[in-house]
Chain A
Amino acid sequence: MTELGVGSLPLGDPAFNYQEHELNERLKRLYPAVNEEETPLPRSWSPKDKYSYIGLSQNNLRVHYKGHGKNHKDAASVRATHPIPAACGIYYFEVKIVSKGRDGYMGIGLSAQGVNMNRLPGWDKHSYGYHGDDGHSFCSSGTGQPYGPTFTTGDVIGCCVNLINNTCFYTKNGISLGVAFTDLPPNLYPTVGLQTPGEIVDANFGQQPFVFDIEDYMSEWRAKIHGMIARFPIGERLGEWQAVLQNMVSSYLVHHGYCATATAFARATETMIQEDQTSIKNRQRIQKLVLAGRVGEAIEATQQLYPGLLERNPNLLFMLKCRQFVEMVNGTDSEVRCLTIRSPKSQDSYPGSPCLSPHHGASNTHLHTGGSDSPTCSNGVTPPNKSKSHSSSGSIKYPSASSSASSSSSSSPSSINYSESNSSDSTKSQPHSANSTQETSDSEMEIEAEHYTNGVVEGSSARIMNGTYKHEEILQPDDNSIGNGVTDEVCSHSRQLCGGNQAATERMIQFGRELQALNEQLCQEYGKNTTHKKMLQDAFSLLAYSDPWNCPVGQQLDPTQRESLCSALNSAILASADASARSGHGVCSAHGPSPVWFLLLRQSRQLFALAQVQVIVK
């Protein structure tokens, strides 16, 4: 089993050429939409991207283990040369177990670039595997789930990634074992891992016919998507393609909360925006807050505007809180910023938390939801939700002295100073509600924008509002406009922990404890969650370094890390609105045909991989 590179093969070897030819033909047939000049397909294991205990041979298709194999610390993996291109739509490869070696601890699966190779696939974040010894599936976790049968010498294991619905299933000797993973991230590499001496596996990236009839599976999805396109309800709008396309663009803009553009687009095309302006702006405001690192405020705003949403998504809440902690370290979250920067805005934003008392929270909610786009969300329903949220996040206690002061200053204006364009952050959503009852027009927009500029004069928030409503830049992630504002301030403090403020640091530590408590509580309710544990660990590790920005876990502080969380929150809000609309509660105005279009837009590449163009034209 000497290592053979591709180059060491004699050129013009007819067998090799034939195999190469067959591989090209098969890949072309399976993945016609992939442009290999842009996104090459995996064709062999990478001699570079592997652990040292892995040996490669036979054109880098055969993998054998050459370590000690004493325990799991001796595990070793290898990734394919390239990640799976999104344009595949459906991707498939097979691995034949040539020998199970000593113990048969083999893992077959997927992993993202950079995942530790001294492990079996599935043990780490962004890594997924199906293991031969116990037949369990490992989804970014050290503990597996019962999944399928065990596999051993002579078996052929296939792994299929469905990039349309982001799932993965395995096959054993040509039989599908059912879905193993959902919500897969993009750009995964085919990966195998071995752990004991004598283990040898051969990969088939298309060099040979597959045991499983993957083309049949693909044909099913092709038929499904053709059917979806063919059956897409057009009804009376038949022929009004312009309107359909405009609707498509409009719903895309609305989905991402590009409110001004959406309005401008609606004006130019003389169409209506389906979602309530207020609702779009609410979502966008929340997104802005997250992107600006003001996660605490984002949580508050979400709790006010979409009561019950975070309670229903405890994982999302936890992620948000974790992020809030990170932002505290960063000095960007308002809870610590208010202690470091004297500005009316931040002062108000701190006590503005509706979490302070169940009573206030409930009344706020009622007021806001009543005024905005969820008229059926009755008072009778929300308070229990609210109070539940308090009991669940009951560990959150604010410093008592300021809390009593702030609670009166924040919650009472929120109900009284309704029309005074109060600068309080907690009431910021009210002008929306007020507007939403009126007809939305261009002049309204102006007034509305003034509410903000008037209300929030100082601090970076002013820039947020400008950025949001005045400039067209909003189509890009607004890190620049907000981020600048934030980093300016942070820089002026030469990037110290919590902006270098003692009180802020204390507040942060306390928040950390609360977070820990929340994690334990979630563990009790929903069982252990390794992702949470890891997230928490990573966040707390920041404190271990004198300069968190330049430490191994410092990556977390990068503002770009906010983006995924931001889109998760946005999706959750849309999903809840959509769900409630479907279940007939009518909380949110109708999205029209948008869900399908979102799917088409989001996954256009994957879909086009399967849907031939003439069908769409037809």
Chain B
Amino acid sequence: MLTDCLTPTHRKCFRESFFINSLGGRPKPVCDMKNAVIGNNKQKANLIVLGAVPRLLYLLQQSSSSMELRTECAVVLGSLAMGTENNIKSLVDCHIIPALLQGLLSPDLVFIEACLRCLRTVFISPVTPVQLLYTDPTVIPHLMSLLSNSLRTQEYITQIFSHCCKTPEHQTILFNHGAIQNIAPLLISPSYKVRMQALKCFSVLAYENTQVSMTLVNGEELFFFYFLSSFSPLMCFFSSSVLVDGELLTQVFVKMMQRDQPIEMQLTAAKCLTYMCRASAIRTDDSCIVLKTLPCLVRMCSKEHLLEERVEGAETLAYLMEPDVELQRIASTTDHLVAMLADYFKYPSSVSAITDIKRLDHDLKHAHELRQAAFKLYASLGSNDEEIRKKITETENMMDRIVSGLSESSIKVRLAAVRCLHSLSRSVQQLRTSFHDHAVWKPLMKLLQNAPDEVLVMASSTLCNLLLEFSPSKEPILESGVMELLCSLTQSDSPALRVNGIWALMNMAFQADQKVKVEIVRCLGTEQLFRLLSDPDTNVLMKTLGLLRNLLSQRAHIDQVMSSHGKQIMQAVTLILEAEHSIEVKEQTLCILVNIADGNTAKDLIMTNDDMLQKIKYYMGHSNVKLQLAATFCVSNLIWNEEDGSQERQDKLREMGFVDILHKLTQSSEPNLSDRAKTALQQYLA
């Protein structure tokens, strides 16, 4: 194999000169090697197989070899790293990283630059474990100190940082070693590459990091630090905000977003500001967001930009405006964004298929990315405003695109499509019209089968909305046998899935007929139902109570459910009322009692339970009006005149002192409560 690639001279050269006679410090053989491998992946792989890496590393680490030789070694290693991912793996396996990091301690700048270049190439590869940068705690401070040495060190180090900052811990380490102060001056470097890499560093540092974002805006976090250690006058230095050439960093970023700057720079600067805004360091109504960042990101979505830029632009924009309806409204009117996004679905275009294969290949590669980005952005746009949702659904073929997106092979697209659908499903009008017309429930149900959790959360949440009482899709979904699926969701480990499952059941039970209710109870099983009543997640508890309330809604249904499960329900209610729970939970529980008290035979379950009656009495005198009102309602139902045995119940409650409380409540300043108390008292008069 070797003979194919390496000439005999080369082999001789490597074997003899390099392996045998290397400590002489003459870099000539290494230099030859460098020339042999440049731009030739096969040669690189061969050299690695030959075992050149340990040898090169050995030479590189020998302080006795000449600086020239050591530098050449680093250069050859860097060249090897430029090859395939396998090359990188072999290099990392040979412990190249500690060796190169060690090399950085040398006083020779050229050697340092060669090491850094190689490190940079290794670290930007996805196969390199990022953690290797952080194993030695002295590395980061040393890299920070090297930043001032030359444009090259600046470029390589910032590039390493921006690729190796993946977790909040990484962010904190870099931040604590003064990344912001050290990198900020590079934003006005004469070298475009340095400016760009510095900017990228800030974008990864600020992502979902309030501490960093705050410091980028005004150094507030450090100001805080200053107070903590106010005894030390040195700390005063940090109290000032980070300035670059007399400007705040935010202003520098805004300048980098100017429309005559390279697109890459505009986009990355917009990302920085987006992350700072999402980390609450910049207000969403700040002009640098509304008038600069948002329009810049919308521009990135336009047809004239590269597909990658359009994807990144759309995703960043979606992230920026996700929590803010005002930004969503502004974006929806900016530069025809809603219509512009429709173009994201036109890849690969029919033209590209004809004209050239290369373009088709490129289009195909990005088609999924484009679609999921568009869905994400639509989801974000339509998450709050009804008007925008209407605009989205009216976009050409939008519903069809979502429907086909739901069953695409790419999981990313499916997830984004279901997010988009979820966002639109918050609209009553869309549920009634386009959702029904396009039978979106069908692909949605299909998606729910064996989907990964993240998709399942979104899909089941959408299903909740589709099961709302006024949704015309409710009927067909019920018939499709969704019950089992929902019940199994309530047993999931993920609280979000449990909530969605029980929520959907709750919606399903709302004003449903007896058959459906029985089916729900049967399918869910009473055991599971009561297990959910003790769920650690309050949301799950609330929705389970809601389900119970909906099950106990018509007199006949109430009596039937209570006759079969009365004991357990009363137990559960007691438990909840006795436990520490929020007002909302207690109110919901009391509402269940109200419903039970509305039944014919079910009433007795309360009337015969003195403990329960005492609890109701207690809540009538509670400090919270909502609970008082619910308890009063319950009493009112119990003593209602026209029903059998009302006289006895009235008497019993009078004996227990309820009438006095009712009298007191008629004096309440809450009109609802006093009215309800008066109505209840009238039952006694009749």
A interface residues with partner B (beta carbon < 8 Å): 148-149, 172, 174-179, 213, 216-217, 219-220, 222-223
Contacts and interface: CB of A to CB of B under 8 A. Distances in A.
B291 A219 contact: no
Nearest to B391: A146
Interface in B219-262: 258-260
Nearest to A219: B260
A172 B334 CA distance: 9
A175 B335 CA distance: 8
Contacts of B292: 213
Contact of A178 (B260, B290, B291, B336): B336
A148 B333 contact: yes
Contact of A222 (B260, B294, B333, B340): B260
B330 interface: yes
A220 B290 CA distance: 19
Contacts of A213: 291-292
12 contacts: A174-B290, A174-B291, A175-B291, A175-B294, A176-B295, A176-B335, A177-B335, A178-B335, A178-B340, A217-B259, A220-B259, A223-B260
Contacts of A179: 336
Per DSSP, chain A at the interface is mixed
A177 B260 contact: no
Given A148-B333, A149-B333, A175 B260 contact: no
A176 B299 CA distance: 10
Interface in B318-367: 330, 333-336, 340
Given A176-B335, A213-B291, A216-B259, 16 more contacts: A149-B333, A172-B333, A174-B291, A175-B290, A175-B295, A175-B330, A175-B333, A176-B295, A177-B333, A177-B335, A178-B334, A216-B258, A217-B259, A219-B258, A220-B259, A223-B260
Interface string B655-671: 00000000000000000
Nearest to A169: B335
A25 to B, nearest CB: 21
B337 to A, nearest CB: 8
Contact of A176 (B258, B334, B340): B334
Contacts of B335: 176-178
B259 A223 contact: yes
A437 B276 CA distance: 69
A220 B259 CA distance: 5
Contacts of A172: 333
Nearest to A212: B291
Contacts of A178: 334-336, 340
Interface centre among A174, A175, A176, A213 (most CB of B within 10 A): A175
Nearest to A213: B291
Contacts of B294: 175
Which 4 pairs between the two chains have the least Cβ-Cβ distance?
A220-B259, A223-B260, A178-B336, A178-B335
Nearest to A180: B336
Nearest to B296: A216
A172 B333 CA distance: 9
B260 A220 contact: yes
A574 B73 CA distance: 61
A348 to B, nearest CB: 44
Contacts of B259: 216-217, 219-220, 223
A586 to B, nearest CB: 15
Contacts of B290: 174-175
Interface in B252-291: 258-260, 290-291
Given A216-B258, A217-B259, A223-B259, A177 B334 contact: yes
B270 to A, nearest CB: 13
A287 to B, nearest CB: 32
B137 to A, nearest CB: 44
Nearest to B331: A175
A519 B330 CA distance: 41
B389 to A, nearest CB: 16
A177 B295 CA distance: 10
A213 B288 CA distance: 12
A229 B335 CA distance: 27
A178 B301 CA distance: 13
Nearest to A583: B355
Contacts of B336: 177-179
Contacts of A177: 333-336
A137 to B, nearest CB: 11
A289 B579 CA distance: 96
Nearest to A584: B355
A217 to B, nearest CB: 6
A176 B258 CA distance: 15
Nearest to B339: A178
B264 to A, nearest CB: 14
A116 to B, nearest CB: 30
Nearest to A176: B335
A610 to B, nearest CB: 11
A223 B260 CA distance: 6
Contacts of B291: 174-175, 213
B290 to A, nearest CB: 8
A149 B336 CA distance: 11
Contacts of A176: 295, 334-335
Contacts of A216: 258-260
A366 to B, nearest CB: 26
Nearest to B259: A220
A213 B299 CA distance: 14
A61 to B, nearest CB: 24
Interface in B503-529: none
Contacts of B260: 216, 219-220, 222-223
Nearest to B334: A175
Interface in B285-323: 290-292, 294-295
Contacts of B330: 175
Nearest to A149: B333
B566 to A, nearest CB: 57
A277 to B, nearest CB: 31
Nearest to A216: B259
Nearest to B262: A223
Contacts of A174: 290-291
Interface in B525-547: none
Nearest to A211: B291
Contacts of A219: 258-260
A215 to B, nearest CB: 9
Interface centre among B290, B294, B335 (most CB of A within 10 A): B335
Nearest to B394: A146
A176 B295 CA distance: 8
A220 B336 CA distance: 19
B140 to A, nearest CB: 38
A409 to B, nearest CB: 44
A219 B294 CA distance: 18
Nearest to A172: B333
A172 B335 CA distance: 11
A361 to B, nearest CB: 29
A213 B333 CA distance: 17
Interface string B495-506: 000000000000
A185 B543 CA distance: 63
B233 to A, nearest CB: 43
A279 B290 CA distance: 54
Contacts of A217: 259
A223 B259 CA distance: 8
Contacts of A149: 333
A213 B294 CA distance: 13
Nearest to A220: B259
Contacts of B334: 175-178
Contacts of A148: 333
A149 B333 CA distance: 7
Nearest to A135: B333
B129 to A, nearest CB: 41
A219 B259 CA distance: 7
Nearest to B258: A216
A176 B340 CA distance: 14
Nearest to A227: B260
Contacts of A175: 290-291, 294-295, 330, 333-334
A172 B260 CA distance: 22
